Each structure stands twice: as C-alpha cells, then as structure tokens.
Amino acid sequence: MITLNLNGKDHSLDVPEEMPLLWAIRDVAGYSGTKFGCGMGLCGACTVHVDGQATRACITPVGLAVGKKVTTLEALHADPVGQVVQQAWLELGVAQCGYCQGGQIMTATALLKGNPNPDDAQIETAMAGNVCRCGTYNRIRAAIHVAADKLKEGQA
Ligand code: FES
Ligand code: FES
C-alpha cells in the first residue's frame, strides 16, 4: 500500500512501487485525463506535474512520486497559471482530435511557471517532447504566447 498525494488529496493505493505512475493515476485512482500514447517516454501524452515538474507518467514508477505532489489535468483549473493556459487553448481552438492536448497543456503550464515570457526557441525546446499527430504545433506556440501575455497583464 502506498500513499500518493494526487491533485491535493492523499490516496491510499494498493499497488507495487514499480507500477508506472500512469497506471496508478488512471486505472487505480480513476483520473482518466492523463493519456497513454507510446508508453516509452517519447510522446508526452502522459505528462503530469510531479512537484511542479513536467513528468512522463508512463516511465515513472509510482514509488518515485511518493512524498511528492502529483497534479493531473483534472486539477489544473485550480492553478492560476494552468487556468490561463487552458483559457488560451480554448480561445485559439488549439485542439484537433485532442488526444495529445492534456499533455501539451501540462508541459506548457510547467514552462510558463518557470519562464513566464518564453520566446519561440524556448517554447520549441520545452515542447519538443510533446508530439501531436494532428500537427497543431503552430496553434500551441501561439496559445503559449497568448497565455504569457495574459499572465503579464494579470501582473500589471
Ligand atoms: S505515453 Fe508517456 S511519453 Fe508517450
Ligand atoms: S490534437 Fe490530435 S494528436 Fe494532437
């Protein structure tokens, strides 16, 4: 039995420590917003925050997240930066099929928390591990700029 702090609450999960965090989140704790894509750390569909860092849940053993704060897309509305990122995504109609977008939003939020005003090259570097089969990359970049502008306005 492990205790996982997930979306602000402690969850007691009867899982082995080596189980991928993604399985524990989706199949055991029941948060299905985090998606399975490649299962090998290559696509970013499974991105969550572990202590604020964008983390690939498919290749992270759940035991490594014990004692840390895990946040998934379901709780991002409670995060002031996450909220602004989600708003920008909606305004620009970023999603096409949507499958990759939860991971994209989690990575974009982690980026903006660390760097509130990234340039195109910094966005490209931060988002490079998040693949979109629908090719929404230009809209993702634009939405990150919109979110950065909104965050700046909010601080003014
Ligand atoms: S499912 Fe985790 S990186 Fe692809
Ligand atoms: S919106 Fe379809 S995979 Fe990204």
- The amino acid at residue 69 is K
Which atom of ligand 1 lies nearest, measured to the CA of 37? 1
**Residue whose CB lies within 8 A of the most ligand 1 atoms, among 21, 32, 38, 55, for a mutation test:** 38
Residue 104's pLDDT is 98
Ligand 1 center from residue 154 Cα (angstroms):
33
Q: What is the mean pLDDT of residues 98-123?
A: 98
Which atom of ligand 1 lies nearest, measured to the CA of 47? 2
Q: Specify the CATH number of the domain 2-75.
A: 3.10.20.30
pLDDT digits (tens, 9 = 90+) for 36-77: 999 999 999 999 999 999 999 999 999 999 999 999 999 999
pLDDT digits (tens, 9 = 90+) for 1-43: 999 999 999 999 999 999 999 999 999 999 999 999 999 999 9
CB 11 within 8 A of CB 29: yes
- How far apart CA 144 and CA 146 sit, in angstroms, is 5
Ligand 1 center from residue 62 Cα (angstroms):
15
Tokens 């509305």 sit at which residue?
77
List ligand 2's pocket residues with C-beta within 6 A.
95-101, 132-134, 136
Ligand 1 center from residue 147 Cα (angstroms):
25
Question: Does any ligand 1 atom lie closer than 6 A to the CB of residue 99?
Answer: no
Cβ-count burial of 38 within 10 angstroms (0-12 exposed, 13-18 middle, 19+ buried)? middle
The CATH 1.10.150.120 portion of the chain extends over 79-152
Residue 155's pLDDT is 65
List residues bridging with 9 in a β-sheet. Answer: 6
- How far apart CA 71 and CA 88 sit, in angstroms, is 20
The CATH 3.10.20.30 portion of the chain extends over 2-75
Residue 154's pLDDT is 81
Superfamily of domain covering 79-152: [2Fe-2S]-binding domain (1.10.150.120)
Q: Say what the pTM is.
A: 0.97
pLDDT at 147 over 70: yes
